[in-house]
Structure 1
Amino acid sequence: MLELSILGFLAEEPLHGYELKERIKALTGHVRPVSDGALYPAITRLVGAGLLDQRTEPGASAAPRRILALTGKGREELLERLRRPKQTEITDHVRFNTVLAFLRHLPDRHEQAAVLRRRLDFLETPASFFYESGKPVRAEETDDLFRQGMLRVARATGEAERAWLREAIALLEQPV
């Protein structure tokens, strides 16, 4: 997801490493913090693969800054990752939000809708945090106040997300 975030933010504009890190932190940092020890090796891999270009320019004070930009090959890689997200990028809420943050870069509305449909299909499969005899436990079926809270919040969040996904898919599938 770190690489997708890097490619996605650089599709919007060239950035230096610190700006890029701050944008990634704003997107997922409260849940999955990004460290320099993860970010800069990822940037180096992407530069080595020809997905990013880097140039040095004078810094605001004295130190030069490394500016990163997406290459044509990097844009194609971003689009491919958005067209065909891994299953964990559909099922994991934080990972899906990262895909969602950059899905607008995918130019084909039907491809965008297909990604949203995969998430909707996943969310429509009955699931729970807790199971009894292989059956999902609903909030009304437990006496545990805290588990009830977890299950009720998850249900409300899921209902809201499914409603939005249905609206967005219908909009994307309308003739232009």
Structure 2
Amino acid sequence: MLELSILGFLAEEPLHGYELKERIKALSGHVRPVSDGALYPAITRLIKAGKLDEHTEPGASAAPRRILSLTDRGRADLLEHLRHPKQVEITDQVRFNTVLSFLRHLPDRREQAEVLRRRLEFLTAPTSFFYEDGKPVRAEEAEDLFRQGMLRVARATGEAERAWLTDAIAQLDPPN
């Protein structure tokens, strides 16, 4: 997801490393913080792979800044990743939000809708945080107050997301 975030933010505009880190942190930092020890090696790998370009600009009042921009190869990689996210990027809420953050860069509305359909299909399957005799436990069935709370919040969030996904898919790929 770090590489997707790097490619996605640089698809919007060239940035220096600190600005890029701050944007990634704003997107998912409270849940999955990004360290310099992860970010800068990832940037180096993407430069070596020809997906990013870098040049140096003078700093405002400090040392020169390394400005990063997306190459054509990087843009193609971003689009391919958005077209075909891994299953965990569909099922994991934080990872899906990262995909969703950059899905607008995918130019084909039907392809955008297909990614949303995958998420909607996942959210439609019966599931729970807790199971009894192999069956999902619903909020009304949980005896523990705190588990009831988890299940009620998850149900409300899931209902809202399914409604939005249904609307978005209809707008992106209306039925004939």
Q: Secondary structure at the match of 1:67?
A: strand
Matches within 5 A, 1:1-176: 1-174=1-174
Deviates more, 1:57-66 or 1:89-98: 57-66
What amino acid is aligned across from residue 158 of structure 1 in structure 2?
G
Q: Deviations over 1:114-156 (max 9, x none)?
A: 0000000000000000000100000100110000000000000
Structure 1 residue ranges, 4+ long, deviating more than 6 angstroms after superposition:
none
Please report how far the alpha carbon of residue 60 of structure 1 lies from its aligned counterpart in structure 2 after TM superposition: 1.0
Separation in structure 2 between the aligned mates of residue 174 and residue 131 of structure 1, nearest angstrom: 37
Q: Deviations over 1:67-96 (max 9, x none)?
A: 000000000000000000000000000000
Query: RMSD value over aligned CA atoms?
Result: 0.8
What amino acid is aligned across from residue 28 of structure 1 in structure 2?
S
Q: Matched residue pairs, number?
A: 175
Structure 2 residues not aligned, in runs of 5+:
none
Q: Secondary structure at the match of 1:31?
A: coil
- Percent identity between the two aligned chains: 83
Q: TM-score under structure 1 normalisation?
A: 0.98
Q: TM-score under structure 2 normalisation?
A: 0.98
Separation in structure 1 between the aligned mates of residue 68 and residue 145 of structure 2, nearest angstrom: 50
Q: Deviations over 1:1-41 (max 9, x none)?
A: 00000000000000000000000000000100000000000
